[in-house]
Amino acid sequence: MMNKLIVVAAPSGAGKTTIVKHLLKTFGVLAFSVSATTREKREHEKDGSDYYFINEADFRQKVKKGEFLEWQEVYKGQFYGTLKSEIKRLWDLQKVVIFDIDVQGALNIKKAYPSETLLVFVKPPSRDILIQRLRDRNTESEESLSRRIEKASYELGFEDKFDVVLLNDSLESCLARAEKIVQDYLQSTN
Q: Check if the beta carbon of residue 76 is closer than 8 Å to that of residue 96.
A: no
Does pLDDT of 186 surpass 70? yes
d(CA 86, CA 77): 23
User: By three-state DSSP, how is residue 29 classified?
Assistant: coil
Confidence bin at 1 (pLDDT 50/70/90): low
Q: Tell me the per-residue pLDDT of 100-133, one tens digit each, with 9 for 90 and over.
A: 988 888 999 999 999 999 999 999 887 787 777 7
d(CA 94, CA 97): 9
Write down the pLDDT at residue 190.
61
- For residue 78, give every residue at least 6 positions away whose Cβ sits within 8 Å of its Cβ, in sequence order, or none: 37, 38, 39
d(CA 152, CA 135): 13
The structural domain count of the chain equals 1
- Structural domain boundaries enclosing 89: 5-187
Kindly list the distances between the CA atom of residue 151 and the CA atoms of 36, 43, 78, 184, in Å, as whole numbers in the listed order: 20, 23, 13, 31
Q: Tell me the per-residue pLDDT of 28-49, one tens digit each, with 9 for 90 and over.
A: 999 999 999 999 898 889 999 8
* CATH code (residue 23): 3.40.50.300
Q: Tell me the per-residue pLDDT of 53-84, one tens digit each, with 9 for 90 and over.
A: 999 999 999 999 999 999 988 778 899 999 99
